[in-house]
Structure formats: structure tokens, C-alpha cells
Structure 1
Amino acid sequence: MLAGIPLGDLAFLAVSLVLAGAFTGVLAGLFGVGGGAVIVPILYEVFRVIGVAEEVRMPLCVGTSLAIIIPTSIRSFQAHRAKGMVDMSILRIWAVPVVLGVIGGSYIARFAPPDLFKIVFVVVAVASALRLLFASDKWQLGTEMPGKILMTIYGGIIGVLSALMGIGGGQLSSLFMTFYGRPIHQAVATSSGLGVLISIPGALGYIYAGWPKMDVLPPLSLGYVSFIGFLLFIPTSIWTAPIGARLAHRLSKRRLEVAFGLFLLVVAARFVISLLG
């Protein structure tokens, strides 16, 4: 399948993936996100160029994104935890519902139209970005984190949506925590731990989901996970994740809010473009 592609094009794609991996690592450390919003569209173009069938292209991007998020999330979580900013009590409550949500999302991905989840994400991302950019502290659901039952429900929703979007969950959980009055630095740091809970079962779920399609998937794929994309992203993303984490703790609260808000608008714009296309 790769034989008909000029060597120059392959070199360009390889360099693009390596650079994207570096950018993904910085995002993982800076915002507590796994970088799926960057990974998925880049992989989509790569797989389009090498001729991956349309019917499996998008789930292959999502599954590969979840696999790539595994090491970047672990590295980001370790860096933030070393700073003492991770609220482990929240992660303990979310652990089971998030994992169950990821498993459910991996199964739903076989049947549900992705546009529905893109629309939901755009609405949430834009509303939250406006809150961050305009520093409207009145945009809160409460001053304290909710009880265990509501937290469990939120965790399940985060898991489902993250699995369907190929993201580490940091975008959703960071927004949720800031809506309940948690400082942005702590929200970002704690959210980095969700990437670990989401990416591992998510990648395994997409391997299982894509197993019946092995005959139409590109070489070096295991279900809906491509080892080509995985191997090209990993080295630089692992290397740059601590850089992003250090940068996050050096920025003022206001600067981090603005940066995170602008990041969310970019991600929302990417989903809007895909919906219109």
C-alpha cells in the first residue's frame, strides 16, 4: 500500500508526524490533555494520503490517538504529581465510572454517528472558553465539588465522550472542575491523570472493535490502532510533555486561563469545520 507513494511525500509525512508529536506532548503537559484534538486530524490526512479505506479511516484515527495518548498522559501525570498539584481523591472517585464509560464509548463507536458528539463538544468547549477568556467567575455550578453520585455520573459521561472523540478527557474534566471553583492549575494537573484511565482501556477497546476489519486495514495495524502512527508520535511527545507541565506552573492563573480558552476555541473550530465538510 505504501509502494506507490513517492519517497519525498513519505519523508514529509514522517517529519510532520514527529513535529506533531512534539506539539502533542507540550499540550499534554500544559493543559492536562492527551492531545487527541491534534492527533486525530493529522492522522486522518496521513491515512488519506496512503490510501486507507474511508470506512475504517476515522475509527483508525481515534484508536491510534488513544494509543498515542497512553505514554504522553503517564508522563504528564507524573510531572504534575511531582509538583503536588494532583487531587487524588477526585481521581479515585472517577476511576471506575470513567473506565466503564470508555468501554461503553468504544462499543457505541461502532454504531453512533460522530457528528452528535462533535456538536456537544463544540457547545461545551465554546461556552467554557468564553468563561475562561472573559474571567467570569459567576459562571459556576457551585463552589464545592458535588457528591459522589453526581461525580460518578460525570465520570461516566467524560469516559464515553472521550472514547468517541479519541481524546484523553483533559478538556472535559478541566472544564468541569473549574465550573466547581477549582483553580485552573489544579484542574489541569488532576485532569492529566484521567488520560491514563481513558487511553489504556480505550486503545484496547478499539483493537477489539477493529478486529473484524483487519482485511481492509493498512499494514502494521492491530484492530483500529496503527503502529506506524503510534511509533512516529511517541518519542517526541514523551520528551516534550514535562516541558509543557513546567510551563503550566510558571504561568500566572490568568495567562493559563487565556491560553486554555484560546486552545478550546481552536479545537471547537476544528470540529465545526469537520461538521460543515
Structure 2
Amino acid sequence: MNEWLPTILAMLATGALAGVLAGLLGVGGGIVIVPVLYFVLQGLGVDPDVAIRVATGTSLLVIVPTSLSSVRSHHRRGNVDWALIKRWWPFMVLGVIAGSATALVVKGQVISGVFGVIALLVAANMLFRPKAPPVADSLPGLPGQGLMASGIGYFSVMIGIGGGTLGVPLLTACNVAPHRAVGTAAFFGLLIALPGATAMLLAQTPTGAPAGMVGLVNLAGFAAIVPLTVLLAPVGTWLGSKLDALWLKRVFAIFLCISGARMLMQTLGV
């Protein structure tokens, strides 16, 4: 029990924070879980190279049930573009396979560095382009859409995030309605997380990983994070209704800037 208790407490704290932030800011998945879990695990004495692998692997498994719930909700509202998914899913799955293979062979520093760059780009988009007009009038042709889908799959699975972080900005930049982009990107999360989490469960557990591991996934973390995320998201939603939405997004963008910068600094050995 002494071996498991610190891990369980750390995972409970991660799930609670992720749940509140998800409801408060309308974000979810790995963009919250990965950086929080990455730094919490290091606080427990886990090596950064191992911590980023455990954080991304655990995040991918967490995304599976949360994406299922989100897809059902958006489908009932007619917000999932199934025609687009029919075109995109083969490209996205190929990207996920390639990204999973990359994540399993590169050093953890590469993964944390890529996450850091993406976190900073997402933060910049939230800070400086909150109401930016679309870049294009419509989606590109099939080759361009295939490149977009495979890129979303590749980078998302590599750093343990769902489909919304990259998918929503890319779709809205191509003049897809925001509610339609969010609903469709929820299904991207399933396409990314199902094969990605499977690959992480089958991977070899690294030396120095915390208790409760199967492959690169911490099952104790999964069991703690999922229910707390679901339970505390309404609390975050309630808080969000009482506070200014624009300032909340700015605060979250600053959180991403700090997390991304720290990851990059560790990657570069600064």
C-alpha cells in the first residue's frame, strides 16, 4: 500500500484538476492531463523520460471513454460530419499508426519537446486569434484533407492528446462551423485513442515507472482520472458561468505557455 498510495493520490489530483479545467474552459483530453501528470510524476521522483511516456499513454486510454460520451452527445445534436469522417478516417488511422511507432522508438525528450511546441502554438492561437476569420473558404481537395487528417493523427497520438486540440483549429480555419468542428473532432479522439492506447498497453513498461502499470499506461491513474473528470466537469462549468470566458481562456493559454516552455527547457537541458 505504501508503494501505491503516492501514485493514487497523484492521479486523483490530476483527475480533479483535469475535470475542473475541462468544464471551466471547454477543453479536455491530453492537453490538460499530459502536462499535469508529467510534472506530478516527476514530483514523485519519476525520471522525466519515463514520466512523459506514462503521461501520454495514460492520457490516450482516458480519452477513449470520454470521447465515446462526447460523440454520443454531439451526434444527438447533429454536430458530427460523418461524410468528412468517412473521407478522413483512413488517413487519420495511418497517421496514428505512424505516430504510435514513432513514440515507441524516440526518446521521451522528443515527445516532451513536441508537446511543448504544440502547447505554445495552441496558446498563441488562443491569445492572439480568439476571433480570427477563416483562412480559407472551404476545405482543400482530398490530397490536402488527407495531409490534414494524417498530421492530426500522427502528432496527437505521439503526445497523448485527443482530436480537438489540432482538429478544431484546422477545421474552423477552413470555414467549418465551430459547433460542427467540435462535434466532428470528438470522433477524431476515438480514431486516435483506440489504436494509440492499444499500442501503449502492449508496450514494454520502462524501469522506474510508478506502481499500477500495464505497458505505458498507468491503470491506477486511469481508474482515478476518468470518474473525477466526469464528476468535477460540472463544477468547472458552474465556475465558468460565473467568470469571464475571455479571461479564462487567457489564463489557460498562460498555463499552456508555462507548461510548454518548461517541457522545452527540460528537452533542451536548460
Deviation of residue 147 (structure 1)? 1.5
Question: For 1:17, which of 11, 14, 18 is the aligned residue?
Answer: 14
Counting matched residue pairs gives 259
Q: Which residue of the partner structure matches residue 273 of structure 1?
A: 262
Alpha-carbon distance change, 230 to 27 in structure 1, aligned in 2, over 3 angstroms = farther
Structure 2: distance between partners of 1:190 and 1:27: 21
Structure 2: distance between partners of 1:54 and 1:76: 31
Kindly indicate whether residue 217 of structure 2 is the aligned counterpart of residue 229 of structure 1: no
Q: How does 1:206-225 map to 2 (within 5 A)?
A: 206-208=200-202, 210-211=203-204, 213=205, 216-225=208-217
The one-letter code matched in structure 2 to 1:207 is L
Alpha-carbon distance change, 89 to 217 in structure 1, aligned in 2, over 3 angstroms = same
Q: Which residue of the partner structure matches residue 88 of structure 1?
A: 82
The one-letter code matched in structure 2 to 1:3 is N
Give the structure-1-normalised TM-score: 0.79
Q: Which residue of the partner structure matches residue 61 of structure 1?
A: 55
Deviation of residue 205 (structure 1)? 1.6
Deviation of residue 221 (structure 1)? 0.9
Q: How does 1:110-121 map to 2 (within 5 A)?
A: 110-111=105-106, 113-114=110-111, 116-118=113-115, 120-121=117-118
Q: Which residue of the partner structure matches residue 199 of structure 2?
A: 205
**1:195-237 CA deviation, whole Å, 9 max, x = no partner?**
11111111112223x31x3554333211100001100011132
Structure 1: distance between partners of 2:178 and 2:245: 7
Structure 1: distance between partners of 2:226 and 2:218: 12
The one-letter code matched in structure 1 to 2:126 is A
Q: Is the 8 A contact 2:167 2:181 kept in 1?
A: yes
* DSSP-derived class of the 1:3 partner: coil
**1:55-91 CA deviation, whole Å, 9 max, x = no partner?**
4221111100111111111111111111111111222
Question: For 1:78, which of 72, 96, 103 is the aligned residue?
Answer: 72
Q: Which residue of the partner structure matches residue 132 of structure 2?
A: 136
Question: For 1:154, which of 143, 148, 152 is the aligned residue?
Answer: 148
Kindly indicate whether residue 2 of structure 2 is the aligned counterpart of residue 3 of structure 1: yes
Alpha-carbon distance change, 271 to 224 in structure 1, aligned in 2, over 3 angstroms = same
The one-letter code matched in structure 2 to 1:275 is L
Gaps of 5+ in 1: none
Q: Is the 8 A contact 1:99 1:198 kept in 2?
A: yes
Structure 2: distance between partners of 1:177 and 1:157: 13
* DSSP-derived class of the 2:132 partner: coil
Kindly indicate whether residue 165 of structure 2 is the aligned counterpart of residue 171 of structure 1: yes
Structure 2: distance between partners of 1:98 and 1:269: 30
Superposition CA RMSD, Å? 3.2
* DSSP-derived class of the 1:73 partner: helix
Give the structure-2-normalised TM-score: 0.80
**1:222-263 CA deviation, whole Å, 9 max, x = no partner?**
11000011000111324566x59x99xxx9xxx988866764
Q: Is the 8 A contact 2:120 2:261 kept in 1?
A: no
The one-letter code matched in structure 2 to 1:233 is I
Question: For 1:106, which of 100, 105, 124 is the aligned residue?
Answer: 100
